[in-house]
Amino acid sequence: MSSSAELSGRVAVVTGASSGIGEQIARTFAARGASVALLARREGRLEAIVKDITASGGTAASYPVDLTDAAATTAVAGEIARELGDAGIVVSNAGIMLPTPLGDLNPPDWSRQVELNIGAVNNTLIAFTAQLVRSAAATGVADLVNTASFAGRSVFPTFSVYAASKAYVIHLGNNLRAELGPKNVRVTTIQPGIVGTELQSHIADENVRTRLAATRDTIEWLIPQDIADVVAYAVGLPARVNLPEITVLPTRQTV
């Protein structure tokens, strides 16, 4: 059984924290004693989550930001360091899924996935890596967790750009681990299968949306708390232990 204080004293940053996996990771970290900075674009939603966390005895603060804006992300990182202290855990989770058949492709959807699924990850790393290294030097360990997807290792028709963007995150994580591991910064790439979040509601193509929804007939989808529990476990391990890649699938999902 996990301790409610196992992350006590650690400052955690969670991007894409206004809903879904990011929200549940933020809530779970706070419940386990971390001081949590929630980052996303939706200010009202972030403030509501922070209010709920603090009402439950947790410590959290909201930092509305467009993570595709490198300068804004770096500025927010500075605010967090001043107000909460250096981040010892960073979960780069912001992302979007906009699958469409190539013949019906809406170019802005293609660009948006690249900007958020790749660009926002890069901006987050640039903004927070120095804090992670300082935190690891001070406490013995820090954690960078990047949210990829099982799609980054598989072939899903109409998901080409999304899958490719998540493959980038997987390979990036492996290379970052080689660089940051010797500095006691653990790098973990979480690769979920099908999780019920608002990502599905962003799908414009009705055929794709229907096909995905039909999998519920044979597969019990994961819920965001499943992923949050796995991430909390990984960052709560002894400093000598790193889980570089974690694939989390519904039991009945095979592809």
How confident is the model at residue 129, as a pLDDT?
98
* SS3 label, residue 213: helix
Per-residue pLDDT, 107 = 86
C-alpha Rg value of the chain to the nearest Å: 17
Range of 226's domain?
Answer: 11-248
Helices (H), 140-186: 160-180
Q: Which of 63, 162, 168, 233 is catalytic?
A: 162
Q: Say what the pLDDT of residue 68 is.
A: 97
| Residue of 173, 6, 3, 32 whose CA lies nearest to 91 | 173
Per the structure, the count of domains in the chain is: 1
Distance CA 18, CA 197 (A): 11
What phi, psi does 66 have (nearest 5°)? -90, 110
3-state secondary structure of 63: strand
Q: Is 162 a catalytic residue?
A: yes
Beta strands in the chain (DSSP E): 11-15, 35-40, 59-64, 89-92, 142-147, 185-192, 245-248
Say which amino acid occupies 247: T
Whether the CB-CB separation of 185 and 243 falls below 8 Å is answered with: no
The answer as to whether 5 is a domain residue is no
Q: What is the pLDDT of residue 4?
A: 61
CA-CA distance, 124 to 144, in Å (whole number)? 10
Residue 69 lies in a domain: yes
C-alpha distances out from residue 110 to 104, 133, 193, 247, Å: 11, 34, 21, 25
- Residue 255 counted as domain residue: no
Nearest to 180 by CA among 212, 237, 215, 141: 141
Q: How far, in Å, CA of 78 to CA of 81, rounded?
A: 5
* Cβ burial, residue 65 (10 Å; 0-12/13-18/19+): buried
Q: For 162-196, write each residue's pLDDT tens digit.
A: 999 999 999 999 999 999 999 999 999 999 999 98
CB 7 within 8 A of CB 232: yes
Quick check: is 1 in a domain? no
Position 1 scores a pLDDT of 38
According to DSSP, residue 195 is labeled B
Our CA angle for 254, 198, 59, nearest 5°, is 110
User: pLDDT of 113-146, one tens digit each?
Assistant: 999 999 999 999 999 999 999 999 999 999 999 9
CATH number of the domain where residue 22 is located:
3.40.50.720
Tell me what pLDDT residue 200 has.
64
Q: What is the pLDDT of residue 102?
A: 79
Q: Is residue 254 part of a domain?
A: no
Give the per-residue pLDDT at 3.
54
Give this prediction's pTM. Answer: 0.93
CB 81 within 8 A of CB 87: yes
Strands 59-64 and 11-15: unpaired
6 part of a folded domain: no
Tokens read off for 166:
């998540």
What is the full per-residue pLDDT of the chain (255 aa) written as tens digits?
355 678 999 999 999 999 999 999 999 999 999 999 999 999 999 999 999 999 999 999 999 999 999 999 999 999 999 999 999 999 999 999 888 777 777 788 889 999 999 999 999 999 999 999 999 999 999 999 999 999 999 988 888 999 999 999 999 999 999 999 999 999 999 999 999 876 666 666 666 667 777 878 899 999 999 999 999 999 999 999 999 999 999 999 988
Flag whether 2 is in a domain: no
Residue 155 lies in a domain: yes
